[in-house]
Amino acid sequence: MTSQKRILELREQLHEHNRKYYVLNSPDISDMEFDMLMRELQDLEALHPEMYDANSPTQRVGSDITKGFVQVAHKYPMLSLGNTYSKTEVAEFYERVRRALNEDFEVCCELKFDGTSISLTYVDGKFVQAVTRGDGEKGDDVTANVKTIRSVPLVLSGSGYPQEFEIRGEVLMPWQVFDMLNKEREAAEEPLFANPRNAASGTLKLQDSSVVAKRKLDAFLYYMLGDELPCDGHYENLKMAEQWGFKISDVTKKCKSLDEIFEYIDKLDVERKNLPFATDGIVIKVNSIRQQKNLGYTAKSPRWAIAYKFQTERAVTRLNEVTYQVGRTGVVTPVANLDPVQLSGTIVKRASLHNADIIEKLDLHIGDMVYVEKGGEIIPKITGVDLDSRILIGDKVRFITKCPECGTPLVRYNGEAAHYCTNDTGCSPQIKARIEHFVTREAMNIDSLGPETIELLYNLGLVKNIADLYSLQPEELMFLPRMGTKSAENIVAGIAASKNVPFERVLFALGIRFVGATVAKRLARAFHNIDSLMSATLPELMAVDEIGERIAMSVQQFFAKNDNIALIEQLRFAGVQFELAPEVLSEHTEILKGKSIVISGVFVKHSRDEYKAMIEKNGGKNVASVSKATSFILAGENMGPSKLEKAQKLGIELVGEDDFLSMLEAENSSEFNPEN
């Protein structure tokens, strides 16, 4: 078989396996077999760039090309739905429809998915575009990002689909993915997403679709539009769409009476709690499209549909005490200790009170009956006080002024809501949390050391800071409770192995405030070693891509402390890496220094990822969209027409891949300057 034929065969097979896995939930090959087919296709496509297909299954991995989103006008406006919160209002809607139609009608009841809406366009059975709701008239073209969602078919299966149509639905982040993402963000000290809806819409708007691909979004489709839809029934159209490969909820149901609708609402209000994704209500739609057209629209929403919103689950319980937790960076978080209460399937005993302002706003008193809600957040929160049940007033809750662990007066920085304990070298929970952070997989990867052992070692005075880890001996560990010779040796070996962890991860492991893994990488690449970083001035730090004043000041404050300098010396003495490896350094040049480069099109010699890495290694910056500030465009085949037009208008040079590669081979940047 020719490679070309094999490419086509593999594409077809992988589209089908994707559908079985992500839409039907019934894969018939193993993940490994799937990966092997995918790899084979990737290799063949790399050898045959002339076979490029924007809808190939390989395109789902996302490209790291960053681009501003292009705004696209919706062919049909994306309206919202009227909301109701009671069955009476649902009955009123039903009655309005009945009177307006004056004939029999059915409704389709569906889940109201709590994500972000999307409109997908298909032409000749192929996915061509995904646009967000935007302002309803026009939205952002997020095609590249949506391609990474495995349950969105790139090529339709079966037959009977209209030559061109739109299908709308909701992009979701499943609970499991949401929880994991927030855990990672917490570890990297990045702000948490409040709920899966924000996480889904935030992810869909990311510039880097390879990051989107990692976030594992999902999509349910619930509404089809076009001039030649197969059926008059909305429900029937969705069933057809399911055949073509779209993910349609299997709890969607046609109802013929108000009682059936109420039954559906009651059933789903219970069942939804076990679903792997968030929902916030039920949508009720008149099923016949002819009847939908008859009913028409108000300015904002269709007259043929309505949303019934579920009550947010809320419990009332007694506030017994407010305690305070000190985190790794010294942030003090107030925690409400409550009488245990059942909420959304779990028993809640503690809830976050976030910060002093929130306590003040709630006017909390010990003994108050408080409302607790989960509302998407991982940790339940207190949303109010039941003032009617306040008979005896307890002590007013006042935010503490001293650290509950070490007694240091707390400080509140300008513009921040949090209070901090600044005793970072003497406050035990901060030290223990820093050691825990130091050993994590993303940092020094000493996975033989768990939090309990760290607690024990700290309490026994064997490890008082991260550097002490490197002088631990197996004999000291062996006699600890629940520790054998083997585990002790494993721990010491794990610590020794961490001396090979590259500088950028060591920098992250130090736990400098606001220096997450990505920032650490940027700093390491810019300053090459710890000594240059320690002596960097504020402007020098801020000259690094994406490092602003907040991060730069935090880095300076960290190195201004003698205790931290001593710690670094101790780590250096132990053999921890404090400079970039020579291989990394030698590849780094300044040939593209000061250049902002846009990558566009399809390449033959290297992938976009590789070109991006080359730009960065040579001191350049890969930027999102074409602007006046763009130095040149690294242009492959089939460059996007809008980019091309903009480049021509602004007179920005296009550099082909061969020229780009020889530019990097040139000994110094003056030999080739595309701006001349």
- What the block records as the tokens of 327 is 């985190």
Question: Which residue in 305, 403, 472, 555 binds ligand IVH (CB under 6 A)?
Answer: 305
Distance, CA of 51 to CA of 111 (rounded, Å)? 41
State yes or no: residue 113 binds ligand IVH (CB under 6 A): yes
Q: Min. distance of Cβ 281 from ligand IVH in angstroms?
A: 8
Q: Which range in 75-83, 193-201, 479-487, 528-536 contacts ligand IVH by CB under 6 A?
A: 75-83
- What the block records as the tokens of 60 is 């789902």
Q: Min. distance of Cβ 116 from ligand IVH in angstroms?
A: 7
Looking at beta carbons only, is 205 or 350 nearer to ligand IVH? 205
**Contact call for residues 643 and 598 (beta carbons, < 8 A):** yes
Q: Which range in 111-119, 270-278, 479-487, 544-552 contacts ligand IVH by CB under 6 A?
A: 111-119
Looking at beta carbons only, is 247 or 505 nearer to ligand IVH? 247
Question: Which residue in 80, 163, 532, 673 binds ligand IVH (CB under 6 A)?
Answer: 80
Looking at beta carbons only, is 255 or 469 nearer to ligand IVH? 255
Q: Min. distance of Cβ 83 from ligand IVH in angstroms?
A: 7
Binding string, 188-217, against ligand IVH, x = CB under 6 A? ------------------------------
Looking at beta carbons only, is 18 or 132 nearer to ligand IVH? 132
**Contact call for residues 653 and 635 (beta carbons, < 8 A):** no
Q: Min. distance of Cβ 97 from ligand IVH in angstroms?
A: 15
- Residue 670, classed as helix, strand or coil, is helix
Q: Min. distance of Cβ 117 from ligand IVH in angstroms?
A: 3
Q: Min. distance of Cβ 204 from ligand IVH in angstroms?
A: 12
Within 466-600, strands assigned E span: 596-600
Binding string, 519-538, against ligand IVH, x = CB under 6 A? --------------------
**Contact call for residues 300 and 79 (beta carbons, < 8 A):** yes
Largest Cα–Cα distance of the chain, in whole Å?
87
Looking at beta carbons only, is 283 or 467 nearer to ligand IVH? 283
Residues 6+ apart with CB under 8 A from 354: 333, 334, 381, 417
State yes or no: residue 246 binds ligand IVH (CB under 6 A): no
Query: Order of strands, edge to edge, in the sheet holding 116-123?
Result: 126-132, 116-123, 164-172, 218-225
Question: Which residue in 8, 79, 192, 553 binds ligand IVH (CB under 6 A)?
Answer: 79
| Catalytic site includes residue 214 | no
Residues 6+ apart with CB under 8 A from 353: 322, 333, 334, 335, 336, 359, 362, 364, 381, 382
**Contact call for residues 534 and 477 (beta carbons, < 8 A):** no
- What the block records as the tokens of 230 is 């197969």
**Contact call for residues 119 and 142 (beta carbons, < 8 A):** no
**Contact call for residues 66 and 624 (beta carbons, < 8 A):** yes
Q: Give me the residue whose beta carbon is nearest to ligand IVH.
A: 117
How far apart are the two ends of the chain, measured CA to CA in Å? 49
State yes or no: residue 264 binds ligand IVH (CB under 6 A): no
Question: Which residue in 127, 223, 420, 527 binds ligand IVH (CB under 6 A)?
Answer: 223
**Contact call for residues 480 and 453 (beta carbons, < 8 A):** yes
Length of the chain: 676
**Contact call for residues 116 and 218 (beta carbons, < 8 A):** no
Instruction: Residue 105: name the closest of 257, 261, 322 by CA.
Output: 257
Distance, CA of 669 to CA of 676 (rounded, Å)? 12
Binding string, 25-64, against ligand IVH, x = CB under 6 A? ----------------------------------------
Q: Min. distance of Cβ 72 from ligand IVH in angstroms?
A: 17
Side-chain-side CA neighbours of 115 within 13 Å: the count stands at 26
For strands 596-600 and 632-635, give the pairing: parallel
> Phi and psi dihedrals of 543, rounded to 5?
-75, -15
Looking at beta carbons only, is 117 or 121 nearer to ligand IVH? 117
- What the block records as the tokens of 328 is 């790794």
Looking at beta carbons only, is 111 or 240 nearer to ligand IVH? 111
Question: Which residue in 202, 302, 394, 404 binds ligand IVH (CB under 6 A)?
Answer: 302
Q: Which range in 105-113, 181-189, 530-538, 587-595 contacts ligand IVH by CB under 6 A?
A: 105-113
Q: Which range in 73-81, 155-163, 390-398, 425-433 contacts ligand IVH by CB under 6 A?
A: 73-81
Q: Min. distance of Cβ 303 from ligand IVH in angstroms?
A: 10
Q: Which range in 110-118, 358-366, 529-537, 602-610 contacts ligand IVH by CB under 6 A?
A: 110-118
Question: Which residue in 22, 161, 222, 399 binds ligand IVH (CB under 6 A)?
Answer: 222
Looking at beta carbons only, is 116 or 498 nearer to ligand IVH? 116
- What the block records as the tokens of 626 is 């074409």
Q: Min. distance of Cβ 251 from ligand IVH in angstroms?
A: 10
Indicate the helix (H) or strand (E) that contains 172. strand 164-172
Q: Min. distance of Cβ 169 from ligand IVH in angstroms?
A: 8
Query: Residue 653 class from Cβ within 10 Å (0-12 exposed, 13-18 middle, 19+ buried)?
Result: middle
Q: Which range in 79-87, 376-384, 426-434, 647-655 contacts ligand IVH by CB under 6 A?
A: 79-87
Question: Which residue in 18, 56, 59, 117 binds ligand IVH (CB under 6 A)?
Answer: 117
Instruction: Residue 108: name the closest of 357, 304, 296 by CA.
Output: 304
State yes or no: residue 308 binds ligand IVH (CB under 6 A): no
Query: Looking at residue 245, what DSSP letter applies?
Result: T
Instruction: Residue 196: name the closest of 215, 209, 221 by CA.
Output: 215
Which residue bears the tokens 């994704």? 277
Question: Which residue in 149, 238, 278, 283 binds ligand IVH (CB under 6 A)?
Answer: 283
The one catalytic residue among 112, 216, 247, 595? 112
**Which residues are catalytic, by number?**
112
Contact residues for ligand IVH, defined by CB under 6 A: 79-81, 110-113, 117, 133, 170, 222-223, 283, 302, 305, 307
